[in-house]
């Protein structure tokens, strides 16, 4: 766990009872309204549930997740039948598409801003398509250790609406509403049939595709088509060290991934010039914020539609978002005239960014290793492994079923939702 985050968790471990006394639930009406939007027959999770004061509003299948065990002890008092998990939002322990909704009241504000996109990507993977997410953030543009207030020493970050909207869209969410409520930004979104960005500060390269195909969106990683040559070319060129695994590419190889347009389609021909231009604006803001050493655009047509209609493959003279920009042909099997050896020749070995066996330090820590790679011949979703530091706290673990209490029906079979233990 990062030192900054650990300091915040330690405060909650030692001051859980005081926090419960000072923070009565103010938004129970909103929690109950959210519960009505949760997908049927699937559990909702309260991320950073704290003392559990919203769990009873989220329905009988609610799961409470918190990094502080002391908070989970209080949550058990508040909701004795709720399933509880001690885990980090940067390493969610749930299987892909296992959750029907996510409620996060002032949880992601305890992460450094540059770590929020990947944390939201993990949430995207855990949610079923169409599942609602309701997340609150502090409004502003600052971050750091809070020196004032009743619980000083916690890490706090805040966002302006436009940048937060970009981050949510990049994480694969359709944003229904992003409004100011009291001193908060309240985001109401749905998990889209799309791919989340896998990005962080300090990337040696950011790969930007045109948009995900439906096959890729359903597989959970880009360039997933059987005839797409991206991953073989990326391996041969030394860009990444493991195929079909964008999380490993980021954490181990320092290579992030995004798309100009987040909307998944059968083919890129369904996209409009306006979508390309809007997407280029979002990706440009992302590049200026996270400052990768280079942006690799996969798909000349999209670059021409969004940036320079006369562009040719290779390094672009004006760069992009303050970074070097390299444009290469599409790796889709439909682009048959671009052979794999040509794609490799155009790769980063000609711009000085070959993988040298050591990853660029991204500061992701142990939270970066919670998702296993897919088998190369698999065409379904990646199998998750338990996130490091995650503990399942079901009925038996926290004594939710006491002698003399009815033991059925159980609200949720928690262990069936968790990823396999490594």
Residue-level pLDDT at 416: 85
- Answer with the residue of higher pLDDT: 378 or 108: 108
DSSP string for residues in 141-194? S-EEE--SSSSTT-EEEEE-HHHHHHHHHHTTEEEEEEEEETTEEEEEEEE-SS
Per the CB < 8 A criterion, the answer to whether 245 and 224 are in contact is no
Confidence band for 397, pLDDT divided at 50, 70 and 90: very low
CATH code for the domain in which residue 118 is found: 3.40.50.150
Asked if 171 and 262 sit in the same domain, the reply is no
Closest CA to 368 of 206, 205, 201: 201
Within a domain: 49: yes
Residue-level pLDDT at 341: 59
> pTM of the prediction?
0.88
Residue-level pLDDT at 414: 81
- For the cut 80, the answer to whether the pLDDT of residue 386 exceeds it is no
Q: What mean pLDDT is predicted for residues 258-263?
A: 97
Asked if 251 and 134 sit in the same domain, the reply is no
Give the whole-number percent of the chain exceeding pLDDT 90: 73
Residue with tokens 């926090």: 19
Asked if 188 and 333 sit in the same domain, the reply is no
Beta bridge partners of 188: 134, 177
Within a domain: 422: no
- For the cut 70, the answer to whether the pLDDT of residue 255 exceeds it is yes
Beta bridge partners of 332: none
Give the whole-number percent of the chain exceeding pLDDT 70: 80
Closest CA to 102 of 173, 160, 195, 165: 173
Within a domain: 236: yes
The reply to whether omega before 250 is within 30° of 0 (cis) is no
Backbone angles phi, psi at 291, to 5 degrees: 55, 60
pLDDT in tens, 190-222: 999 999 999 999 999 999 999 999 999 999 999
Residue-level pLDDT at 404: 34
Asked if 23 and 162 sit in the same domain, the reply is yes
Within a domain: 376: no
Beta bridge partners of 65: 47, 85
Q: How far apart are the C-alpha atoms of 303 and 222, rounded to whole Å?
A: 18
Number of domains the chain is built from: 2
SS3 for 211?
coil
Asked if 264 and 330 sit in the same domain, the reply is yes
- Tell me what the pLDDT averaged over the chain comes to: 85
Asked if 170 and 217 sit in the same domain, the reply is no
Within a domain: 382: no
Q: Rounded to an integer, what is the distance from CA 156 to the centroid of its chain?
A: 19
Stated as kind and residue range, the H or E segment containing 47 is strand 44-47
Per the CB < 8 A criterion, the answer to whether 129 and 97 are in contact is yes
Within a domain: 381: no
Residue with tokens 């562009």: 311
Residue-level pLDDT at 353: 61
- For the cut 60, the answer to whether the pLDDT of residue 313 exceeds it is yes
SS3 for 114?
helix
Q: What mean pLDDT is predicted for residues 224-233?
A: 92
Choose the weakest-confidence range: 55-59, 75-79, 327-331: 327-331
Asked if 232 and 311 sit in the same domain, the reply is yes
Asked if 190 and 212 sit in the same domain, the reply is no
Stated as kind and residue range, the H or E segment containing 398 is helix 395-398
Within a domain: 383: no
Distances from the Cα of 63 to the Cα of 31, 50, 162, angstroms: 14, 12, 31
- For the cut 80, the answer to whether the pLDDT of residue 360 exceeds it is no
Asked if 363 and 412 sit in the same domain, the reply is no
Confidence band for 339, pLDDT divided at 50, 70 and 90: low
Q: How far apart are the C-alpha atoms of 338 and 331, rounded to whole Å?
A: 8
Choose the weakest-confidence range: 173-187, 315-329, 344-358: 344-358
Q: For residue 213, give both structure tokens.
A: 């195909």
CATH code for the domain in which residue 233 is found: 3.40.470.10
Q: How many C-beta atoms lie closer than 10 Å to residue 358's C-beta? A: 9
Q: What mean pLDDT is predicted for residues 355-364?
A: 54
Asked if 169 and 210 sit in the same domain, the reply is no
- Answer with the residue of higher pLDDT: 331 or 358: 331
Length of the chain (residues): 422
Q: How far apart are the C-alpha atoms of 112 and 4, rounded to whole Å?
A: 9
Q: How far apart are the C-alpha atoms of 233 and 4, rounded to whole Å?
A: 38
| Residue 290, domain extent | 205-369
Within a domain: 93: yes
Closest CA to 171 of 262, 93, 107: 262
Asked if 286 and 156 sit in the same domain, the reply is no
DSSP string for residues in 41-98? TS-EEEET-TT-TTGGGG-TT-EEEES-HHHHHHHHHH-TTSEEEE--TTS--BPTT-
SS3 for 96?
coil
Q: What mean pLDDT is predicted for residues 329-357?
A: 61
Residue-level pLDDT at 358: 42
Q: Among positive and negative, which fits the CA dihedral 193, 194, 197, 198?
A: positive
Q: What mean pLDDT is predicted for residues 2-29?
A: 93
- Helix, strand, coil fractions of the chain, as percent rounded to 5: 35, 20, 45
Q: Among positive and negative, which fits the CA dihedral 4, 10, 15, 21?
A: positive
Asked if 45 and 170 sit in the same domain, the reply is yes
Q: What mean pLDDT is predicted for residues 285-295?
A: 97
């Amino acid at each position: 766990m990062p030192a900054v985050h650990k300091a915040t968790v330690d405060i909650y471990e030692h001051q859980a009872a005081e926090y419960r006394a000072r923070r009565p639930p103010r938004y129970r009406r909103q929690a109950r309204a959210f519960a009505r939007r949760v997908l049927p027959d699937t559990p909702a999770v309260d991320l950073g549930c704290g003392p559990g004061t919203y769990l009873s509003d989220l329905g009988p299948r609610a799961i409470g997740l918190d990094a502080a065990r002391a908070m989970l002890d209080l949550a058990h008092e508040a909701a004795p039948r709720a399933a509880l998990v001690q885990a980090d939002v940067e390493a969610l322990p749930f299987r892909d598409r296992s959750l029907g909704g996510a409620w996060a009241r002032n949880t992601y504000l305890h992460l450094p801003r540059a770590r929020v996109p990947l944390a939201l990507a993990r949430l995207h993977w855990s949610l079923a398509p169409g599942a609602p997410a309701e997340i609150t953030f502090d409004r502003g543009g600052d971050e750091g250790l809070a020196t004032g207030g009743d619980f000083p020493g916690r890490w706090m970050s805040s966002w302006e609406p436009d940048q937060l909207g970009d981050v949510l869209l990049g994480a694969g969410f359709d944003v229904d509403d992003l409004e100011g409520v009291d001193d908060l930004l309240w985001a109401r979104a749905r998990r889209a049939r799309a791919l989340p960005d896998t990005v962080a500060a300090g990337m040696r390269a950011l790969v930007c595709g045109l948009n995900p195909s439906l096959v890729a969106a359903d597989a959970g990683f880009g360039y997933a088509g059987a005839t797409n040559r991206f991953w073989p070319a990326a391996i041969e060129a030394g860009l990444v060290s493991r195929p079909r695994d964008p999380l490993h590419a980021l954490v181990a190889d320092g290579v992030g991934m995004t798309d100009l347009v987040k909307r998944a389609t059968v083919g890129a021909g369904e996209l409009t010039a306006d979508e390309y231009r809007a997407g280029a604006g979002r990706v440009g803001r992302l590049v200026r914020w996270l400052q990768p050493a280079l942006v690799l655009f996969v798909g000349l047509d999209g670059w021409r539609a969004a940036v320079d209609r006369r562009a040719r493959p290779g390094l672009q003279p004006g760069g992009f978002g303050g970074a070097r920009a390299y444009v290469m042909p599409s790796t889709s099997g439909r682009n048959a005239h671009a052979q794999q050896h040509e794609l490799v020749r155009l790769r980063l070995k000609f711009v000085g960014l070959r993988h040298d066996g050591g990853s660029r330090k991204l500061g992701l820590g142990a939270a970066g290793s919670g998702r296993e790679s897919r088998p190369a011949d698999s065409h379904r979703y990646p199998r998750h492994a338990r996130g490091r530091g995650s503990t399942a706290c079901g009925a038996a673990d926290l004594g939710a079923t006491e002698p003399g209490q009815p033991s059925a029906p159980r609200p949720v079979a928690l262990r069936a939702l968790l990823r396999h233990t490594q």
